């Protein structure tokens, strides 16, 4: 059996957490990631031993038997790279759909992020849209969060503003950005609401809290959030100044059609 500490998926998760902390997206224990892994990816590194079981607090029957690498509750992203076995856990959803079987990690007796309901419910939603979507990522990017306080939290208006900030935006997230009002985090209710938005969007803003992203791998999902954050930064640096130039709606349409992406046509004034 190979040492899980040498697993490529583990090192990619460690590097991603380090980058998110370095960029200031995940202060203290803010933010969380769940990575869906195929059985053949994890099989060389694990026995069938279940270290302990942890109640999920909701029904995840649709994901039974699936493996997830998940950041731990109360754990600091800055510590993941130095001590992955304490700060991360590899779980399998048990046959009852109500329990997580811990196969590796959380060695200090910890457990998965309190946001796991939002993660697993979002995984269920995204897998129905695209079976290759294996990552749910939540963070608190500075400018994206700041923009929540000065821009109307309307999906069409927020998306359109972000698209206008960088030429690449409509190409990177042509499906736009979903928006939820402020809700109590760590609950099944916000998990259900996020999953509902994930049926349409790969990006969901939690009002006055942060953002959720979904994608096929850690790089793609990181890149989605990174692009929104750059656009939000440009907006926050220019919002108080007279607007002299902008990317017009007909130019956004031209971009989307040139790059052959399926964009939200109803989000443009054309």
What are the domain boundaries of the chain?
1-113, 115-270
For residues 187-209, give the mean pLDDT.
Answer: 96
Nearest alpha-carbon partner for 71 in 157, 167, 137, 140: 137
pLDDT classification of 47: cutoffs 50, 70, 90: confident
User: pTM for the complete prediction?
Assistant: 0.96
What pLDDT does residue 29 have? 92
Question: Which tens digits make up the pLDDT trace of 226-261?
Answer: 999 999 999 999 999 999 999 999 999 999 999 999
Sheet holding 99-105, edge to edge: 52-55, 99-105, 88-93, 67-71, 32-37, 135-139, 210-215, 203-206, 178-180
Q: Does residue 111 register a pLDDT over 80?
A: yes
Nearest-angstrom CA–CA distance, 229 and 205: 11
Identical fold at 1-113 and 115-270?
A: yes
The CATH architecture to which 115-270 belongs is: 3-Layer(aba) Sandwich (3.40)
Residue 113 CB-half CA count within 13 A: 28
Task: Give me the active site residues, please.
Answer: 115
What pLDDT does residue 48 have? 79
Is residue 130 within 8 Å of residue 202, measured between CB atoms? no
- 3-state SS, 215-241, equals ECCHHHHHHHHHHHHHHHHHHHHHCCC
Q: Does residue 151 register a pLDDT over 80?
A: yes
Q: Does residue 66 register a pLDDT over 90?
A: yes
Question: Is CATH 3.40.225.10 what the domain over 1-113 is classified as, yes or no?
Answer: yes
For residues 118-142, give the mean pLDDT.
Answer: 97
Q: Does residue 1 register a pLDDT over 90?
A: no
């Amino acid at each position: 059996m190979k040492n899980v500490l040498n697993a490529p998926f583990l090192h990619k998760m460690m590097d991603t957490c380090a980058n998110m902390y370095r960029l200031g997206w995940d202060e203290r224990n803010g933010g969380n990631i769940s990575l869906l892994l195929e059985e053949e990816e994890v099989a060389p590194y694990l026995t069938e031993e279940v270290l302990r079981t942890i109640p999920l607090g909701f029904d995840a029957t649709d994901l039974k038997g699936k493996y997830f690498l998940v950041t731990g509750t109360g754990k600091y992203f800055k510590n993941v790279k130095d001590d992955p076995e304490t700060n991360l856990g590899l779980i399998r959803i048990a046959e009852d759909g109500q329990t997580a079987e811990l196969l590796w990690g959380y060695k200090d007796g910890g457990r998965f992020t309190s946001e796991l309901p939002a993660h697993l419910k979002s995984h269920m939603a995204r897998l129905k849209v695209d079976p290759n979507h294996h990552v749910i990522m939540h963070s608190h990017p500075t400018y994206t969060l700041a923009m929540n306080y000065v821009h109307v939290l309307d999906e069409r208006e927020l998306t359109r503003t972000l698209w206008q900030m960088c030429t690449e935006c409509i190409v990177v997230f042509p499906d736009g950005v979903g928006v939820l009002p402020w809700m109590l985090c760590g609950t099944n209710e916000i998990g259900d609401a996020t999953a509902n938005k994930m049926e349409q969007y790969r990006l969901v803003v939690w009002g006055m809290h942060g953002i959720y992203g979904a994608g096929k791998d850690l790089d793609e999902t990181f890149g989605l959030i990174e692009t929104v954050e750059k656009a939000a930064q440009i907006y926050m640096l220019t919002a108080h100044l007279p607007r002299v130039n902008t990317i017009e709606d007909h130019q956004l349409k031209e971009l989307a059609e040139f790059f052959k992406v399926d964009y939200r046509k109803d989000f443009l004034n054309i």
